[in-house]
Amino acid sequence: MSRKPKKIEERIFRPARQEARDARINIDTPQTQNTSYKLAFQDTEFLLREDLRPIRFQLELLKPELLLDEAQIASTFVFYGSARIPSPERAQALIDAARSDQDQRIAHNLAAKAKYYDEARKLAQIAARFPADISGKRNFVVCSGGGPSIMEAANRGASEVGARTIGLNIVLPHEQAPNEYVTPELSFQFHYFALRKMHFLLRARALAVFPGGFGTFDEFFELLTLVQTGKIQPIPILLYGRDFWNRVIDFEALVEEGVIAPSDLNLITWVETAEEGWAAVEAFYGATPSDPAA
């Protein structure tokens, strides 16, 4: 009598999910109640030990990478910018709320930059319409820090045209939450700034930088350094707000002082509108993508 061939199993170990479920036993003994008895990957206190920092680095790098792969996101269009610039509809309220002369000046300066909220929103709408490739993978998926202001504008623009959009949030001492336009399954939270910045750039194939403060400076100059030193290949780096940037940074002085080369200024593409920004991306890649919404 012949036996039916037995299937060669893909794996013979029980899945970790099943092990974790079965480990929740209701046996109350000194041994089982001690934290040492917990499975290592279920023991939060163990994972938060100082010695486990390298493991936490790996996990924070790996989790978004796996989920973005599963979401078939091939590349991103990253948006950097201030968390304080108001949307045009909120600009007057910001001015009205200012009390002192200094607060009034600051409110007017921020309100004057509200136009960049609209430009970020429109640029995100254009990028988000970029068609999927034949395998279903998406390019130029809009990605921001997941917060308010310019970040909200980017996620909002992509959401408004029905596209998924990424938010890379960071744990800060004051309470915060991702903006409402981030796709929930693509909303990530980071403990380590370094790993968050790495994820900004791992898939970035174009990047727009709007006026911003310390965080924007940090992200922008790290990107310039990585391209300048050949650590990453050049990508379109769109810089919005020439008046702002030339007031707070003297790029020409850096050349004149000899601390950067004249050619380093070519890493930056100055733009003011969403249309100019997307035209620069098209010029860089030498192709005009079709617009499914057209």
Instruction: Express as a percent the part of the chain with pLDDT over 70.
Output: 96
Report the alpha-carbon angle 289-291-292, nearest 5: 130
* The token pair that represents 206 in the structure block: 């174009």
What does pTM read for this prediction? Answer: 0.90
pLDDT per residue as tens digits for the range 43-79: 999 999 999 999 999 999 999 999 999 999 999 999 9
Q: Which carries the bigger pLDDT value, residue 202 or residue 3?
A: 202
Instruction: Express as a percent the part of the chain with pLDDT over 90.
Output: 81
* The token pair that represents 76 in the structure block: 């991103």
pLDDT per residue as tens digits for the range 94-115: 999 999 999 999 999 999 999 9
pLDDT per residue as tens digits for the range 203-226: 999 999 999 999 999 999 999 999
Domains of the chain: 52-87+115-285 (3.40.50.450)
Look at residue 133 and give its three-state secondary structure.
Answer: coil
Instruction: Tell me the average pLDDT of the chain.
Output: 93
Q: Where are the beta strands (DSSP E) in the chain?
A: 76-80, 141-144, 166-170, 187-190, 204-209, 237-240, 269-271
Report the alpha-carbon angle 64-120-157, nearest 5: 65
Residue 25 reports pLDDT greater than 80? no
pLDDT per residue as tens digits for the range 269-290: 999 999 999 999 999 999 655 4
